[in-house]
Structure 1
């Protein structure tokens, strides 16, 4: 009878915990742990056991959640794990301690993988969002004390309160990650900074525009009138081409990205026909707007030979990450335009005493550098790069990489 009682409790919790079809990250089909969701059908098919229930849910392109559900009244309980493309990502999650669950036979709790960068949105300003969720659902949110932990605990007196709080957090995260409030954390890059010629040309370009010379190294010309300062120049040692932008807000998503990246190496090399990719940068152009009110200034990229090969390789990369559920929907629809950014107003450092400038006057720059020859270069590697973190050589932190062909094949 005790075993049947536990199964009944687990079944009741599953019914109460069903996530509505409006949540996009529970709508795509993957399988794990013997359970399966069929893509497009929104069918939840848990694998039932005597003392526990295991189910697999999957995300769409926005949010990945990791849920472990515990019922204090049974030794087994209900566990729900996300999978992506058959790869089980639910490892190393902190579970609620036995002391917390043992305080009452009616206590229920789950460990929800959120990601430390998103905790602030769940808490809200002065804890307002956390208080609102707790008041609406009757559950309690317990955040980890360590910055290295990425899961929070949802505790309540009923499965329904815990399930409603979890769904409320999922919806909140879904909206947040689609917005500019959460910045891109990683990207697929083709490094150009490994070539000294490009680095030297960028350094000389920056010095020339800012009016810096050996006699007066701190001199900056017309920074107020033109809206130009040192902060909007791309750091020469980070010079690159971007293939795909990614938002990876927890370790599980980063690990998934690394696995996808490693898995496409052979296919990418095949798309390139085993031949090197040589690019040539010449001139300057404005991404949007006019040169008088520029936001992004870049060097157009010309593939010296085999542009179709490179674009096909980039498509393979994008398709793989879209299939893996790691690309925002709007980014998946973008048409790739390879370009090498040299100035970007988004990088401008703000201070309380600095007037907000959302553009700069690039007309003088175009007159002088509009036909500049930046150099020709064989791209040596493909990287999964992390933004805002740098290696000793100044380039972005490399989460994974593989070499591209360097030499022409000889028949």
Structure 2
């Protein structure tokens, strides 16, 4: 059969040669049938040597580019004449009864390509179907939108975009951030459903870790405003000016310290100058001869005591004190609860919670006004020599505990709604009115890493200060870093407290 086929193909070749016909049409697909075996190919034939090469073109009609699979396989050890053949739109019946039938042509080809024997049509058909199925899936994109919130975008991106790039490379996805800060969704796109799902889970893990860490600051808090009283605001301004003034604050640098601080070089230099000026220091020097040797009789040196150096006030900056660590008088308040609300949904939920518990809060107050007294100063932790937070203690007038119970109602409502971090939920409420906090220090202003300040002089002057008595009029859901026209924190929601005694 192969010999007859070869001769016929040779004749066709010569006819095409003499007619100067150039065939650049789509390659011809043929099916060889013999002994119930079917073989398909779509290229030219060259037979010779100990083997033949086969190239099968698999067409995906759903894509513009064609997929090609090359297979090399020896099929014969017999030599035969090398002939080049090309057939188109014809059916050949060799003498041995075998049949070569054209089945179609749909891609471009070039004359003189090497060909190889056909393979079984059944595996080839399955391969084509699998390729087309995979191609269809690869062309399909899957996407998921994850609600994040603008404050958390930086954690997903990472430093220099490293975290985002790592997720995209590992999961084979694309993370798309919104162009506007008002939008809160991050879109994850990919060709694999599993990849998109894995990337979304990774983003959620990053969010959870960021929320628990200190890298994400508190965005809101429940406050009891005190800056509504002008007389109290004036007292706080006077307090700030007296500390940052030109020495009238009488902050003593010679107070004892509880740590091994470096000795003040200024004190040493002044002591040296004072000793040089003092003429009463007796040191007897006896020279035995003209040599350079000198004998000193130390037993005859009289001891001289000096009066203590006059107390001088240090510059506030030397004590770690600058204007940035003072609480702004127009934002003065009592803190009930700190919150991290990183998207609009959480802010809306927090707003609704405060408004819905208004009646419970008034009930906890026995529907009566509640007032507090501010007196003195205390350090939150540590010592006055290395203070971080300085505050005025809060005392409820009447000591009935009504204010504490009302605030606990607020805290419990937010904890039940899942808006309070676990560490914050486990802390016991302690009323305090902060006046200084080193955490608010503007780092650009400090020459070294100072995370505390010396409050001993401040305590000496204001340790028993009576700041006054004030009625608690309302509770706010306040937004940090945002202020109203009066200078107080932006109010997202508020509930009133009783101001007048109810008469039955």
The answer, yes or no, to whether TM exceeds 0.5 is yes
Identify the residue that residue 332 of structure 2 maps to in structure 1: 239
Distance in 2 between the 1:405 and 1:121 partners? 43
Distance in 1 between the 2:462 and 2:161 partners? 51
Identify the residue that residue 213 of structure 2 maps to in structure 1: 179
Identify the residue that residue 336 of structure 1 maps to in structure 2: 429
Q: CA deviation at 1:126?
A: 1.1
Cα RMSD between the aligned structures?
Answer: 1.9
Distance in 2 between the 1:408 and 1:378 partners? 12
Distance in 1 between the 2:445 and 2:327 partners? 23
Distance in 2 between the 1:344 and 1:352 partners? 15
Which ranges of structure 1 fall in alignment gaps of 5 or more residues? 1-101, 215-219
Q: Is the 8 A contact 1:207 1:213 kept in 2?
A: no
Q: Is the 8 A contact 1:277 1:306 kept in 2?
A: no
Which of 219, 222, 227 aligns to 1:188? It is: 222
Q: Is the 8 A contact 1:197 1:375 kept in 2?
A: no
Does 2:191 match 1:153? no
Cα 1:307–1:348 change in 2 (3 A) is farther
Identify the residue that residue 168 of structure 2 maps to in structure 1: 134
Q: Is the 8 A contact 1:345 1:359 kept in 2?
A: yes
Identify the residue that residue 321 of structure 1 maps to in structure 2: 414
Which of 359, 370, 376 aligns to 2:469? It is: 376
**Offset from partner CA, 1:334-386 (integer Å, 9 cap, x none):** 00001000000011111176222111110011111000000100011110000
Identify the residue that residue 458 of structure 2 maps to in structure 1: 365
Distance in 1 between the 2:418 and 2:468 partners? 37
- Match of 2:153, SS state, is helix
Identify the residue that residue 59 of structure 1 maps to in structure 2: none
Which of 203, 206, 211 aligns to 2:240? It is: 206
Identify the residue that residue 351 of structure 2 maps to in structure 1: 258
Distance in 2 between the 1:314 and 1:381 partners? 11
Which of 378, 382, 403 aligns to 2:496? It is: 403
Cα 1:353–1:263 change in 2 (3 A) is closer
Distance in 1 between the 2:427 and 2:220 partners? 17
Identify the residue that residue 42 of structure 2 maps to in structure 1: none
Distance in 2 between the 1:149 and 1:103 partners? 31
Q: Is the 8 A contact 2:325 2:437 kept in 1?
A: yes
**Offset from partner CA, 1:302-357 (integer Å, 9 cap, x none):** 00025421111111111111111111010000000010000000111111762221
How many residue pairs are counted as aligned between the two chains? Answer: 305
TM superposition score normalised by structure 2: 0.59
Distance in 1 between the 2:247 and 2:501 partners? 41
Distance in 1 between the 2:492 and 2:141 partners? 41
Which of 320, 331, 351 aligns to 1:227? It is: 320
Identify the residue that residue 363 of structure 2 maps to in structure 1: 270
- Match of 1:182, SS state, is coil
Does 2:203 match 1:110? no
Distance in 2 between the 1:337 and 1:203 partners? 25
Of 300-309 and 165-174, deviating more is: 300-309
Which ranges of structure 2 fall in alignment gaps of 5 or more residues? 1-135, 249-312
- Match of 1:351, SS state, is helix
Distance in 1 between the 2:448 and 2:159 partners? 26
Which of 269, 287, 295 aligns to 2:380? It is: 287
Cα 1:255–1:368 change in 2 (3 A) is same
Distance in 1 between the 2:399 and 2:228 partners? 21
Distance in 1 between the 2:480 and 2:246 partners? 28
Does 2:201 match 1:167? yes
Q: Is the 8 A contact 2:137 2:191 kept in 1?
A: no
Which of 131, 143, 146 aligns to 2:177? It is: 143
- Match of 1:299, SS state, is strand
Distance in 2 between the 1:352 and 1:389 partners? 23
Distance in 2 between the 1:259 and 1:333 partners? 23
- Match of 1:394, SS state, is coil
